[in-house]
Amino acid sequence: MPDVSLWHVARATGLVSTLLLTITVLLGILGPLRVGTAAWPRFTLAGLHRNISLLSMVLLGLHVVAVAVDSYVPITWTDLFVPFVSAYHPLWMGLGTISFDIILALLVTSMLRPRINPRFWRVLHWSAYLCWPLALVHGLGIGTDALSGWPLGLSVFCTLAVLAGVGWRVVAARKKTLARLS
Amino acid sequence: MSAPNAEGLRLQVDMIKCVGHASCRELLPERVSLDEWGYPIIETDPLPSDLVTHARRAVAACPTLALRVDGKVARVRTQ
Amino acid sequence: MTIMMERGAARGGGQGRQGLLLPRLLAGGRKLAEHRATFGQLPLRRFTGEEGRRKLIRAVTDAGLRGRGGAGFPTGLKMASVAAGAKRPVVIANGCESEPASRKDKMLMVCAPHLVLDGAVLAAHAVGADRVYLCIERGTSVADRLEREIAQRDDPVKWKVVRVPRRYVSSEESALVHLINDGDGRPMTAPPRPYEKGVGGRPTLVDNVETLAHVALIATYGPEWFRQVGTREDPGSTLVTVGGAVARPNVYEISPGMRLGEVLDAAGGVVEPIGAVLVGGYFGTWVSMPDGWGMPLSHDRTGPQGTSLGGGGIVALPAESCGLAETARVVRYLAEESAQQCGPCMFGLPAIAQDLAAVAYGRCDPATRQRLSRRIAQVTRRGACRHPDGATKLAMSALTTFAADLETHMSGWTCTGVSRDPILPLPSRQHRDRTWK
């Protein structure tokens, strides 16, 4: 039945893009921490950060399209961009929508990076730290089976990984081993 | 090493923007070495033509956009 | 502050006594009436219109005036570049003088403020600017005095007195522009240089206050008069601040070409045997004595180490003092004064200062000596501004001029000079600012 398989697409792409976003955030943290080896030099890790973020956006794109097209739930195209106006779980949807909006902003500003004010780009890029937990909470709230089994395990794993990464970054900032950003 | 490029393009760095991330060193070791504090020492003579593409890649990879490739000379190190 | 002035023959138009004290800059008075009585009205009428502006710039160029702020760049050339810009230019009169070994700009602004202000108005006219920023370090009454003197005048420019944080690098051209534009007194990357794009994105003429005073004199008496003293490449008179082991440490007006020994004599002669003289302030070089007694002083780089007058700071170091220890102190100060924007300066200067201290205080081994040389080479010309270059130049010069002392230190002999009171002046903590605003 077509409606059920669209739902499967939405669920699958939601889960995978959460995972990919997590990896993106972790790779992004590695940059200022100056992590790099001979086999995995910093420019490679930076390139991976960029490419995996693009991949996660592709999957995220499929996710939002599937959800809007699917007639099983009353989610409209407007709900994808405007938060909290959805007829279906407005709170959890809203969080996802905000997260999606932030990702669009990150995409556009990074594409235009040489042309925009560097400080503006940097401040906006920090909103990725907001975007990620919103996406995760959106999934936990709106996912029909998000609170059991391996989807829950995935969420827990992603959360622990990002907490560890952010913790490392905070410690490094205090010890001044970060790449100093003006 | 091939002949210098025709447009007189040089790789130059804005040391205020530079934070010593050193991706440039990874991508263009022929022209970039590091000082003892991890900051790039850049050979600012005109680039050999076979390195221009690599230099542009290094410019794109810099996390703070501190590098540029152009013909105008800001400060040349005579060492 | 007393000023040594020996009034020579005819004031202004006449020949100054060759090579000795010349009352050019210091001939006028502190107040407007006295100043006008000496120099007459502002000679703007001679330079009206586009043709007049060009004539004025030509006069400054023909006079061969060079910047008196330290770089010695030809002023006429700078004016022409600024005037050629597309947007309406702006003038900055740089009276910051953050160099601790120099007092000449402060003295000039107190004793001949209207000469400086005349020069600024003329420079603004020459480049087509209608606004002049007068940049002065905070912490003294000089800015207040100048505001009072400006109020007595009626000039065709808008004046703005800017009080600059007391930091060594804040007197740099791009730092002043940055402070005016964004309230942040740290140097910026060039290109573009201020003469291309400065205050408000406009071409900005940044000139030292002494330079502007000379512009006023050239406009009044002409380029030939200006060239009556000095040398062909470095004409005119110039102010120097003589300090250290001399009888009368003070500011003196000399002519380039004068010998170092003559300048020390003009300051009353040395009070004890001296081993070296620092010429050019803290971005200058150490001249060994008595070998350097006959060295002609100039804004060009003369002598074996390329010694230049720079901003005019001259300090005589007693033979009993330790030049390496003095230099170590100053380099540590310069390291503390880094804007902390560029890695090599931020990390390199403190490291060099530490190595120099090790050398000076006898904890020196050949490895440290080599590391010092290596670090000096690594840091030079790798900052966005000239701050690290000046510091490394001073360090290199000390290692060259005090090479014999260096050998002594390295062989483990104790140097008695290190326990003498410091000779090179440094501002105390309360006279330095921590802010960049």
What are the domain boundaries of chain A? 2-174
User: CA nearest A37 in B: which residue?
Assistant: B26
Q: A with B: how many residue pairs have Cβ under 8 Å apart?
A: 38
Output the CATH code of domain C238-318: 3.10.20.600
Residues of B with a Cβ under 8 Å from any C Cβ are: 14-20, 35-39, 41, 72, 74-75, 77, 79
Interface contact flag, B21 A179, Cβ < 8 Å: yes
Output the pLDDT for position C25: 87
Contact yes or no for A41 and B19 at CB 8 A: no
CA-CA distances (angstroms) from residue C261 to C4, C296, C401?
18, 9, 17
The residue behind tokens 């400065």 is C198
Average pLDDT over residues C217-236: 94
Closest partner CB to B61 (pick from A36, A43, A113): A43
Does B23 sit within 8 Å of A42, measured CB to CB?
yes
Å from C351 to nearest chain B CA?
10
Contacts of B70 (CB under 8 A, 6+ apart): B9, B10, B12
**Contacting residues of A for B23, CB less than 8 Å apart:** 41-43, 46
pLDDT at C10: 30
Task: Give the β-pairing of C90-95 and B67-70.
Answer: unpaired
Q: Tell me how far apart the alpha carbons of residues C234 and C64 are, in angstroms, rounded to a whole number.
A: 7
Partner-chain residue, chosen from B15, B35, B39, that has the shortest CB–CB distance to C384: B15
Instruction: Out of C343, C347, C381, name the one closest to residue B77 (CB).
Output: C381
pLDDT tens digits for range C394-422:
999 999 999 999 988 888 777 888 888 99
- Which range scores top for mean pLDDT: A30-34, A65-69, C379-383? C379-383
As a whole number of angstroms, the distance between CA C410 and CA C414 comes to: 10
Please state the CATH superfamily assignment of the domain spanning residues C32-226 in this structure.
Answer: NADH-ubiquinone oxidoreductase 51kDa subunit (3.40.50.11540)
Residue A147 is predicted with a pLDDT of: 77
Kindly determine whether residue B41 and residue C378, on different chains, have CB atoms separated by under 8 Å.
Answer: yes
With 0-12 CB in 10 A as exposed, 13-18 as middle and 19+ as buried, what is A2?
A: exposed
pLDDT tens digit sequence for C251-275: 999 999 999 999 999 999 999 999 9
DSSP letter for each residue of C387-408: HHHHHHHHHHHHHHHTHHHHHH
Phi, psi at residue B9, to the nearest 5°?
-75, 140
**Longest Cα separation, chain A:** 57
- Reported for C40-44, long-range contacts at CB under 8 A and 24+ positions apart, including other chains, are C40/C220, C42/C118, C42/C121, C42/C122, C42/C155, C42/C216, C43/C122, C43/C219, C43/C220, C44/C121, C44/C122, C44/C125, C44/C156
* Cβ contact, residue pair C189, B41, below 8 Å: no
The reported pLDDT for the residue numbered A2 is: 53
d(CA C280, CA C312): 5
| C21 has pLDDT over 70 | no
B13: helix, strand or coil? strand
Q: And the tokens for C18? A: 């060759």
Instruction: Indicate yes or no: CB of B38 within 8 angstroms of CB of C381.
Output: no
Per residue in A137-164, pLDDT (tens digit) is 999 888 777 778 888 888 999 999 999 9
Q: Which residues of A touch B26 (CB under 8 A)?
A: 36, 41-43
> Could A31 and B63 be called an inter-chain contact, meaning their C-beta atoms sit closer than 8 Å?
yes
Please state, in angstroms and rounded to a whole number, the distance separating the CA atoms of residues C69 and C299: 10
CA B62-B65-B68 angle, to 5 degrees, is 95
Q: Does A118 contact B27 at a Cβ distance shorter than 8 Å?
A: no
**What ipTM was assigned to the predicted interfaces of this complex?**
0.90
pLDDT digit string (tens) for C313-359?
999 999 999 999 999 999 999 999 999 999 999 999 999 999 999 98
Indicate the pTM of the whole model: 0.88
Q: What is the pLDDT of residue A178?
A: 56
The total number of residues shown for chain A amounts to 182
C2 pLDDT above the threshold of 50:
no
Strand, coil or helix: C235: strand
SS (H, E, C) C118-144: HHHHHHHHHHCCCEEEEEEECCCCHHH
Work out the percent of chain A whose per-residue pLDDT is above 90: 49
Residue boundaries of the structural domains of chain B: 10-70
The domains spanning C32-226 and C238-318 adopt the same CATH topology: no
Residues C105-117: tens digit of each pLDDT: 999 999 999 999 9
CATH code for the part of the protein at B10-70: 3.30.70.20
Touching B (3+ Cβ pairs <8 A), the chains are A, C
Distance CA C55, CA C40 (A): 20
Alpha-carbon distance of C146 to C140, in angstroms, equals 11
Of C188, C348, C381, the CB nearest to B75: C381
Pick C323-431's CATH classification: 1.20.1440.230, 3.30.360.10, 1.10.1040.10, 3.40.430.10. 1.20.1440.230
Contact B26 A41 (CB under 8 A): yes
The whole-angstrom separation of Cα A63 and Cα A78 is 15
**For residue A46, which residues of chain B lie inside 8 Å, CB to CB?**
23, 61, 63
Please tell me the distance from the alpha carbon of residue C388 to that of residue C400, in angstroms, as a whole number: 18
Which chain A residues have a beta carbon less than 8 Å from that of B65?
A: 113-114, 118
Q: Is any Cβ of chain B less than 8 angstroms from the Cβ of C348? A: yes
Handedness of CA C38, C42, C47, C53 (dihedral sign): positive
Closest CB to B27 among A32, A43, A113: A43
Least confident among C25-34, C196-205, C241-250:
C25-34
> What is the C-alpha separation between C33 and C30, in angstroms, rounded?
9
Confidence of residue A173 (pLDDT cuts 50, 70, 90): confident
End-to-end Cα separation, chain A, in angstroms? 56
**pLDDT at position B1, please?**
65
Tell me the residue ranges of DSSP E strands in C9-87: none
Task: Give the domain ranges of chain C.
Answer: 32-226, 238-318, 323-431
B interface test, pick of C169, C375, C382, C389 with most B CB neighbours within 10 Å: C382
Average pLDDT over residues A48-55: 95
**Whole-number pLDDT of residue C4:** 34
Q: At what angle do helices A149-174 and A2-30 cross, to 10 degrees?
A: 20
Q: Does the beta-carbon distance from A181 to B19 stay under 8 Å? A: yes
Q: Which residue of B has its CA nearest to A42?
A: B23
> Is residue C6 pLDDT above 60, yes or no?
no
Residue C343 and residue B35: Cβ atoms within 8 Å?
A: yes
- Indicate the average pLDDT of chain A: 87
Q: What is the pLDDT of residue C324?
A: 94
Would the pLDDT of C182 be above 90? yes
